[in-house]
Structure 1
């Protein structure tokens, strides 16, 4: 198999050995040697033509096919020129090269040049020209200097031929020079090509051909050049071998190249050539200025220019690196790294001048909800627009940084507590106008923590830490406000961290439990359902209110596993009660926005129903109004839930987004009116609002549930308003599972 795989290479080696043996055996027979010298290129050319033609046939439907076609035709012309020369030797008894042979050779070289230029253009599209341009220019200058000095000048100096012959003799080294420049370019542009190894054979083949031509021209004026005769044949075979391997496919290209040929950095070749040129100048120098000396001067000048350009480029790159290191690429603001670099200097100046320094930590409220509902692209654009708006606030003598995520830092050198609070008010006012991002109109608010040096902190770490603590208090106080740090805030931050850490272990430690509050038919006062509510009792922290730990779970993402636990526990409990013969009623489970937007949400709900064997009609999922922000995705999820037979409701309606106009588009079943509307239902304005919501729901064929009913009067008014269902402490507080079981038994009795 290996012999068959490298059949072309073995043939090439065999022919090379045969050529040199023949030259050696015929060294005393000049005519026979000349005939053999013409026969070898014909044989090599025909073999090479077959290999290249087959490569063209296999790639003719691709752009690459033209490259192999031009090479194959060029090789055929080359072989034809040798046929004409052999004919003249045999029939005309002359060793002079006929004009027809010269023309065929020049035609072959022209096709070679076109093929190489074409291939260069194909590959050059995938590499930056400037990455190898300097090497090309250096090599070209050296090559031109050497060719003119050693080949063109001797031809013209000893010219005793016709003008036509002199032109042909001059044309050979010039064409070779052109091919040499192009194959050098091909060497660089093929650096990253999958054809690299095949093209190196092409490059090596043409290098041998050029070497043979130039040695022949040089030796023609110096000595007998018999030993170079087989080089033309070898070059043709090497070029053909490239076609042989290209046709066989890339699996035949697993050869190990010398490291110097695989180097994808700037090649060392130009510097080697410069060294060679220096040696040639020394060898040829006779205290007269010649073309080699001129070439060397130009090369050294180019090296000097390049070093200057490299220094400038390095300076520019260093500036870019410095900018990237200290700036946030999304917003264009300086980043946390730059803040950490500058804050100590600001504090030092403030301390020396006995000035104050204010730090505002600005955090965007509910930003994670925007990322979850509208996507990270919209979130990123919102951050960008926010930064643009922040830096345009008038009257602020400070500096903004992006701290990371949705947090921004504002440093106010020389600002007192009062000045810092004034600036915080300006920032909050800035957010009173909605942001328009990617055709979405988004309302977002900031929570701001303020810390002032030296009043609240003596060093940079404490300054930022205290601002962070104040910012969390601002969030806990309803968001969209600012808070000034005071020492008591450290306790609030510590508690938040304690809750966050405790939540991670709550499920495994069986600290979570569900309580159940009945839903009542307001006319018959019968139980028609129940809502599962989450409670957490930590052995170290104690009982933690859902209003305190649910937002933290949302913020940290722990709401996903907690929500899964709640859903499974509620379904299992409802199925258990049904199996015990208790009334079959629907259980409502709250679903967070992050749960609802999670990619595996619907499939998980389906799996829980299958595993608990609960009929889907006895499960209702309560979602918040915020899902309306991403109406298309939310509608799709709701449709999938409805297809499973699960009912859905909008919870706490009226507290979130203005969503009345899209309610008719959502495939929901129930609307739950928030407790805040029910509390003051006796007031005429609230009566009107609640009645309008109920009327709208009934027109949309939605069931209505009123939350937070605490008095009979509220229940009666709601009944008059045609509200069908309600829940609240008037009927029952949330009960533990055992107590709710007794409650159901009493109701059924």
Structure 2
């Protein structure tokens, strides 16, 4: 059977209300006579029992913690009713035992109330809120405790020189009152979930009626003026009526248990419990400061003042924390945590004005994710939201110091970069693109997105924040039209200056993994015999978008963007692999490999060389590593140590581009190298004095080094170098760089019919 919530007051509640009105009128009439005390004692019981009936009826139709609360409150009212009946019976029999069954009923009632109120479900609060509530409860409880001390506890202790059971029962009354006081203050200040404000007010009013009536009763008894049938007796039935009405209203309004939105006009209602605490404190101070205090009361006074000071400190601290939270919420996007667009234009305009005053620039990057709709449609918006959070965090981590990123809306972000001209803005845009391309781990899913970015500069493109954002937005759409996953300047002139290199960098990243690199081989020829001495391995890149790309174009970009380490390791291993494959059929052929400064400076470089030789079974003496002067002169001591390690492996080292650096004869003598390679600029420049080349050849020979001339393009150059005593030559005159198979075929044409190649010369030991 479905129990429907009542829509009108129950019979018991109406009867209780009518009875209480008649009871109040009877008390106001000041009944007297022999029967009046007994009638007054018995008259308290019916409204309490009617309250029990009403509260338990509401417990039947309630759900969750509220049902348990009303049930416990009903038990409390019942215990009080039974105590009142027992007291009336003792009074009718002119008996006054203490303690008695009446005391048992009275003492059980208030803990039942406290348990019922404690069962209400409350919203989780922070530490400061909790401390504030506890301080308020302690403050009011302390004030009530002092009142009970003066009206009851002190006299009770004075009447019992020795501790007895009766003394403990007497002290139990103020103790349970204090317990209920603390719970009631918590009820008023820490609003339970699912209860309307009026229900809480009725419930708190009922509890305060019990407490106030108890306090007045103790005071009247202490002064010897209490008589049954006094107006004070109305307090307990009134408390039961308020609790019954609270139970009824809670069930009737269950359909709107959600908290009402806070309105400014209702702010005073939320602060009403705090005003009540302040009022209690003020009244306490007034009453105590007007009278002379004994030692105990003075301690209590200072303790109360101390609690109030602590309470105010907690309020100020909480207000400051709340203000910080509100400020953060007003300025930041609630989903991603980056700044929102509310003050984007104002902040950007300040940066533009400052940049104009200093003669600088502010770069504005408009970032739009390319595949967010697909993610939302495939995985749902919850995954999409988590992806946006991850994207925002990653973009923010890749911005330079001083930059500010804001969520513009949806999957759009705007980054403001003060002090960033076009080249720096281009680098940041490229870094953000690469960051967005990295996969995102969202739960069990690996998600891939890309971004399109528009870049505008202020005050160059516009000197108004709104306009520069629009310019960056328009540039972002042009980037999408160009194929997404790229960026564009708002200025076409800047695109012409910066986009070729930027596009080259974009395509270069990942090219090695995509298998776009190959090794070409160019022979080194012994000028006196015409035989092939070895091959130099040269990297070549064929981009699916750009086609063949000159090393003069992609190697500087790779070095600038720290990609040469990976490319160099690949070239080394691939060259050694090819050399190992040639050893069976072409035992005399060696390979020379260029080593970048970044690769040579790596701590594990020698280990990488050793590993490559071991993996492919290649002979170390056939491998020549070509290093530039700049790569060894940066740290001569460290370079010498590595070169000696390579010497111990049996690997040869060539000093490449000799003559273009600043090495001295002393430095050259200290480096254990085997070959000098004269740079092509000296060979191809007809104006170069032959004596200068002769000096370099003589220097190399004097140190026991073989000398190689690069860039030989005609027969006269060969003859001139022969006359100067150069050992080896390399250039287009002999052969262009070719893939491995074609290079071997070219070698066969260059060598005698026997196919023999020149064996590496022995005795050419460096220092």
Q: What TM-score do you get using the length of structure 1 for normalisation?
A: 0.54
> C-alpha distance in 2, partners of 1:485/1:290?
81
Q: Say if 1:109 and 1:204 are closer, same or farther in 2 by CA, change over 3 A.
A: farther
User: Which residue of the partner structure matches residue 308 of structure 1?
Assistant: 313
> C-alpha distance in 2, partners of 1:83/1:227?
10
Distance apart, 1:380 and its partner CA: 2.4
Q: Deviations over 1:397-442 (max 9, x none)?
A: 8443333222222333333323323333333344444444454444
The number of residue pairs the alignment matches comes to 470
> C-alpha distance in 2, partners of 1:43/1:410?
74
> C-alpha distance in 1, partners of 2:465/2:267?
54
Out of 195-204 and 341-350, give the one that drifted further: 195-204
Secondary structure at 1:301's aligned position in 2? helix
Distance apart, 1:67 and its partner CA: 1.0
Q: Say if 1:146 and 1:470 are closer, same or farther in 2 by CA, change over 3 A.
A: same
- Paired residues for 1:152-163 under 5 Å: 152-157=153-158, 163=164
8 Å CA contact retained: 1:245, 1:252: no
User: Which residue of the partner structure matches residue 271 of structure 2?
Assistant: 265
1:14 lines up with 2:22 in the alignment: yes
1:104 lines up with 2:78 in the alignment: no
Q: Say if 1:241 and 1:375 are closer, same or farther in 2 by CA, change over 3 A.
A: closer
Q: Deviations over 1:362-390 (max 9, x none)?
A: 22224334434443333323322323333
> C-alpha distance in 1, partners of 2:89/2:119?
35
User: Which residue of the partner structure matches residue 222 of structure 1?
Assistant: 223
User: Which residue of the partner structure matches residue 43 of structure 2?
Assistant: 40
Secondary structure at 1:479's aligned position in 2? coil
User: Which residue of the partner structure matches residue 353 of structure 2?
Assistant: 348
Distance apart, 1:466 and its partner CA: 2.0
User: Which residue of the partner structure matches residue 458 of structure 2?
Assistant: 453
User: Which residue of the partner structure matches residue 490 of structure 2?
Assistant: 485
> Which structure has the larger Rg?
2
Distance apart, 1:78 and its partner CA: 0.8
Q: Deviations over 1:629-652 (max 9, x none)?
A: xxxxxxxxxxxxxxxxxxxxxxxx
- Paired residues for 1:311-710 under 5 Å: 311-393=316-398, 398-486=403-491
Out of 267-276 and 164-173, give the one that drifted further: 164-173
Secondary structure at 1:335's aligned position in 2? coil
Q: What TM-score do you get using the length of structure 2 for normalisation?
A: 0.53
Distance apart, 1:85 and its partner CA: 1.1
Distance apart, 1:104 and its partner CA: 1.7
Q: Say if 1:363 and 1:323 are closer, same or farther in 2 by CA, change over 3 A.
A: same
Q: Deviations over 1:213-239 (max 9, x none)?
A: 443443344353337646446614651
Secondary structure at 2:415's aligned position in 1? strand
> C-alpha distance in 1, partners of 2:55/2:111?
16
> C-alpha distance in 2, partners of 1:380/1:430?
18
Give the counterpart of 1:120 among 107, 111, 117: 117
> C-alpha distance in 2, partners of 1:343/1:164?
78
User: Which residue of the partner structure matches residue 278 of structure 1?
Assistant: 285
User: Which residue of the partner structure matches residue 150 of structure 2?
Assistant: 149
> C-alpha distance in 2, partners of 1:123/1:248?
16
1:81 lines up with 2:89 in the alignment: no
Q: Deviations over 1:240-276 (max 9, x none)?
A: 674488479845999xxxx999934341211221232
> C-alpha distance in 2, partners of 1:260/1:231?
34
8 Å CA contact retained: 1:470, 1:484: yes
> C-alpha distance in 2, partners of 1:397/1:264?
42
8 Å CA contact retained: 2:49, 2:81: yes
8 Å CA contact retained: 1:48, 1:75: no
1:24 lines up with 2:23 in the alignment: no
Distance apart, 1:107 and its partner CA: 1.4
Secondary structure at 1:483's aligned position in 2? strand
Secondary structure at 2:25's aligned position in 1? helix
Q: Say if 1:472 and 1:242 are closer, same or farther in 2 by CA, change over 3 A.
A: closer
Q: Deviations over 1:62-101 (max 9, x none)?
A: 5346414522540343134224413531xxxxxx6213xx
User: Which residue of the partner structure matches residue 176 of structure 1?
Assistant: 177
> C-alpha distance in 2, partners of 1:104/1:319?
57
Distance apart, 1:165 and its partner CA: 4.7
8 Å CA contact retained: 1:365, 1:447: yes
Q: Say if 1:358 and 1:106 are closer, same or farther in 2 by CA, change over 3 A.
A: same
8 Å CA contact retained: 1:52, 1:240: no
CA-atom RMSD in angstroms: 4.2
> C-alpha distance in 2, partners of 1:323/1:24?
66
8 Å CA contact retained: 2:456, 2:471: yes
Q: Say if 1:6 and 1:473 are closer, same or farther in 2 by CA, change over 3 A.
A: same
Query: Structure 2 unaligned runs (5+)?
Result: 1-7, 256-264, 495-767
Q: Deviations over 1:426-461 (max 9, x none)?
A: 333444444444544444332222222343233433
> C-alpha distance in 1, partners of 2:57/2:252?
17
> C-alpha distance in 1, partners of 2:201/2:381?
47
Query: Structure 1 unaligned runs (5+)?
Result: 90-95, 490-749
> C-alpha distance in 1, partners of 2:254/2:383?
48
Q: Say if 1:307 and 1:349 are closer, same or farther in 2 by CA, change over 3 A.
A: same
> C-alpha distance in 1, partners of 2:250/2:408?
54
Out of 1-10 and 120-129, give the one that drifted further: 1-10
> C-alpha distance in 2, partners of 1:206/1:160?
33
